[in-house]
Amino acid sequence: MVSYDELRLLNKIESPADLKGLSREELYELADEMRRYMVSTVAKNGGHLSSNLGIVELTIALHLCFDFSKDRLVLDVGHQCYPHKMLTGRAKQFETLRLKDGISGFPKTTESIYDAFNVGHSSTAASAALGILRAMRLEGNTTDRVVAVVGDGALTGGLAYEALDDAGEKELPFIVILNDNKMSISGNVGGVSSHLSKLRTSKGYKRFKRRFSGHLKKIPLVGKGISNSLERLKNRIKYFVLPNVLFEELGYTYAGPFDGHNIEELVTILEHAKKNVTDKPMLIHVMTDKGRGYAPAQEDPERFHGIGSFDEATGKSKSGLNNSKIFAGALCRLAEENEKIVAITAAMPTGTGLSAFRDRFPNRFFDVGIAEQHAVTMAAGMASMGVRPVFAVYSTFLQR
C-alpha cells in the first residue's frame, strides 16, 4: 500500500503552479509516483484504472501549459480524471476515492474550481467545451482557453462528430485533444498514420512526387491521363488510411500523432496551440498506452477499465460473483434453449457481462459502439422480425 506521505514529489504539489518548479527528471518521477499511488488506491477502493494510467503525462503537460482555474478543461466521460485531481489540490484526499464522504471518481464542479463540467457519459466533451467557449465569448472573455480531451472510443458516438462539425465551421479558438490509446478506432491505423504523415511531408517524398509526375506528363498522348489517374487513386487511399483528412475536412488544423508519454513533446505542441489557435479550431492527436506502468493493466486493459478491489501484487480480483456475471450466465442458458435470443451492448461487453455471451454465441452478439440510441432502435427492428434481442446497458447511459 502506497501512502500519500511517502510520495516525495506529489505531496509537495498543492496546485498546478507547483509543477513549474520541477525539473524534467522530476516531472517523470512525479508521473511514476502518481501511477503507484493510483494503483494502490484503486486496488483498495475500486475504480477506473487503465485509462488513468495512460493519461498521466498528458495531464501534467496540460497543467504546465494552461491555467485551468481560468481556462477550462473538459474530459470526455471523466473517468480519466484521477491525475487531474491529484494535481489540483486533491492528492491527499485521493485515498478516499469513491468512498462515502470521499472524492468523486468523476469531475465534480462542487469539488474544485478546476473541474469545469460534471460528466459521466461518453462523447459529450466536445459539445460541452464548445458551449463553455461560446458562453465565454458572449461574456466578452476572449483570452481564456477551452480544451476538450476526447478519447478514440468516444469517436464511436455520433454526438462527438456533431460538435466537431459545428465548431469546424466557425472561427473559434477551440482546442481538441484526441487521446488515442489504440483501444478502439485506431488500433490498426495509428502506426500507418504516423508513418504516412511523415512520409508525405518529407522533402525527399515531395521531390520524388514532383519529378515522377513531371516525367509521366511528358509521355505523349497518355502521360497526363496516367498522372491524373494516379492522383485520384492517391486521394482515395488517403481518405481511407489518414485520420487527419477527416478532421481537416471538418475545418480543423490537424497536428500529430504525438507521443502521449513525452512531456517535452506535449508541452511544445500545447504551447504552440495556446499561442496560435485564434480563428480556427485545432485537433491534436496524441498516442497513449492504456494501463501504462502496471503490468496486469497493460496486459488486460479492458478488465482494468473499471474494476472492483483487487490484489495489488497480482492484479487478481478479490470479489467472486457479481450481478453482471449472474445475468450473463442466465442469458447464456436461455440462449442455449432459444436460438432467436441475441445480445446487444453499446461498447460495454465486459462491464455488462456479455463477453461470456460473445464468446459462446459470436454470431448472435452485437457491439454497436457508443451508440445507445442506435442500439435501442436496432433492437426494435430485430424484434419486429421475431428475434428476441436483449440490450444490456447501464441505466445512466439511457439519459442521453
- Torsion, CA 83, CA 67, CA 155, CA 53, rounded to 10: -10
Helix or strand or coil: residue 379? helix
Same domain, 193 and 53: yes
Same domain, 185 and 36: yes
Same domain, 174 and 232: no
- Tens-place pLDDT, residues 133-144: 999 999 999 999
Phi then psi dihedrals of residue 147, to 5 deg: -120, 130
- In angstroms, the CA 35 to CA 51 distance is 11
pTM value?
A: 0.79
Half-sphere exposure of 128 (CA within 13 A, CB side): 22
Query: What is the strand order of the sheet 365-367 is part of?
Result: 365-367, 341-345, 388-392
- Domain annotation covers residue 203: no
Q: Which amino acid is located at 387 in the chain?
A: V
Same domain, 252 and 369: no
- Domain annotation covers residue 313: no
Same domain, 351 and 292: no
pLDDT score, position 199: 32
The yes-or-no answer on residue 70 being catalytic is no
Which uninterrupted H or E stretch holds 253? strand 253-259
- Domain annotation covers residue 48: yes
- Domain annotation covers residue 105: yes
Same domain, 83 and 136: yes
Give me the mean pLDDT over the 8-35 stretch.
Answer: 96
Same domain, 135 and 100: yes
Same domain, 250 and 390: no
What's 336's domain CATH number?
3.40.50.970
pLDDT score, position 3: 83
- Domain annotation covers residue 148: yes
Residue tagged active-site, from 98, 134, 274, 400: 400
Give me the mean pLDDT over the 178-206 stretch.
Answer: 48
- In angstroms, the CA 52 to CA 45 distance is 15
Same domain, 40 and 143: yes
Same domain, 78 and 140: yes
The yes-or-no answer on residue 339 being catalytic is no
For residue 42, which of 358, 309, 230 has the smallest C-alpha distance? 309
- Domain annotation covers residue 284: yes
Residue tagged active-site, from 33, 57, 312, 372: 372
- Domain annotation covers residue 314: no
- Domain annotation covers residue 259: yes
- Tens-place pLDDT, residues 308-366: 888 888 898 876 678 888 999 999 999 999 999 999 999 889 889 999 999 999 999 99
The yes-or-no answer on residue 400 being catalytic is yes
Same domain, 266 and 228: no
Residue tagged active-site, from 85, 290, 303, 364: 290
DSSP annotation string for 257-309: EEETT-HHHHHHHHHHHHHH-SSS-EEEEEE--TTTT-HHHHH-TTTTTSB--
- Torsion, CA 26, CA 60, CA 99, CA 326, rounded to 10: -110
- Domain assignment of residue 341, given as a range: 323-399
Domain count, the chain: 3
Same domain, 218 and 111: no
- Tens-place pLDDT, residues 369-393: 888 889 999 999 999 999 999 999 9
